[in-house]
Structure 1
């Protein structure tokens, strides 16, 4: 803790005096801080330059990729029949493709009407609409019979509905339920007319009652259906589902095991479990036919294998008694040759013998597929390379040049006078734009690709796109050789130089490391200088504090003498 109040005894503000002296002592520190700021600015500039050089490296990697020059594009005569994709291995040419038959998926169609009837007898006086196992739930509202509205609630029993029909029509139309056929039957002495545009209940549709121009209308099919949202044990299967009694039911589809619990799992749950498995089929429930259908996820004439292991789910669901609707294989011809086969609608080299060409059949018929070189990716890669190269040169120009403001003050760039930065700009220009010896004159210089420089800066421009397009079209190999020849290619030599610059131990990386170390060394120097400043400050404070204490004692003695001699007189 510092002792003493500045000037209390002496009247001299020595603390301000010390602070001023310390500021003078800190002058070398300020000079070092300014130097450190310049070092950090240079380091940041080199870091930004490194980033752009690495972008340029990536663009060069694109140019050096052999697949770039082997790119293919396709044209299909009738896009409604085929979709075509060509890889680098595809040979340019014209192919005639005839699709004779598209591939379809096989289906295993379960037995219809696997659900139990609505009621075991014709007595439906206790069967409410809400609990009746229709394929679709009945909604409350009104429906029309012979022009008379019948109002129903889901709490009504089926017999209540029959009674309401008779009451609404004055007994002209009567209704009943036949448990044997599982149908509702309407009878009258004259033609029955059902429905109107103002109906709000779906009862007639759920009961499958449709006009037929006669005096008797029966449901178009059996009405009892399996309930998707009820547990398997209470889902209204005609044959009750069992799981072996332990809740560990199991069946296999295409050898893949599916488990179920009859008392906790619903039919919807089991169907979803099948769909999410690796069995390779989609399982759906057809409510109108009251049957379960399995459809192969893959097309082609391939079967579906079913096996109950524990319990009887497949049997109760009508699947073991179902039948296979075979799928179709894709049949096609290439250039009028023999009929070829594929189990899918995708034609690959394995099924067509055409390397690198993948076709997808969208319809049946004959069309052509043209495969040709795709020069657009090369042109785009060259343009991206030029953009990255120019950005590097623009950054170097900005960092190394000097500017004069409106007041005539010249401001040097952060890397002005840096030989490393100037060397990079010069070296890049020479590597990119010098003529390559030993190549055919058709393409031994970037100028042959329509790439020029203005002579006023280091930037490159694609000033003649027609020249590049012409060379890519007529002699793409010359373009590839100029850029990618393993010993003399422009992109190869430039990439090697960039690796020496910004690779793992590149000169630019080492430059930044050196600058960072210099900045860190300055921090250490400043800390040591500040330690000495603080030590000097403390010594001076202690000295002035001692002076204040001595002055205070002198003042006290003086006051004592004045009081003593003053009294004596």
Structure 2
């Protein structure tokens, strides 16, 4: 039996069928390639539109953040030494630098009475206990935050000018008690002024600070605020008088 015809090109047919078939296949491949190129181009466009949509959404989110007033009111608190003090922000605080000074560390304190064998027979002790209704006198150890109906004193500096014209700026930012204020004034150099609790009759006895000029001058005796503060007013000694004594205002009100 004769073998099947493997190649029909040649002299007998006078047609190069291999070349013809390759040409036809090339035409078909060209169409397929054209379709693939169009698919690739469309995929590229889809990718570009997807990227554009993502960036547009990102822009929209940023615009929404910028549209909120809280974005421009946000603040951050930092500490110069976070090993000692850390700070956080709540609400919308006023911006600025806030110095912090530690004047006294907390200490443990405990008082224990002696034991008693009963609750209604043994005498606890002798003496007098006085209870005042209303208010007591200002004491040298009275904390400044107890003054002015518990509103306290805004710490700052004050300027005192005695009757000779000499003046001194006294820093009270570290004052904790009335005693601290009195000592700071009495230790001020350059002026002749003494401070004490006012016990003079007819004035705010026991409830105010009294300043006395000992310079012997004839000018006005003045106590002024420094840098727009309110320390002198809070201490009740803001004054400008033509006498040698300033009787402070009542700072022990409730």
TM-score for the superposition, normalised by structure 2: 0.36
TM-score for the superposition, normalised by structure 1: 0.17
Q: Which structure's residues are more often helix, by fraction?
A: 1
Q: Which structure's residues are more often strand, by fraction?
A: 1
Q: Which has the higher contact order (CA 8 A, sep 6+)?
A: 1
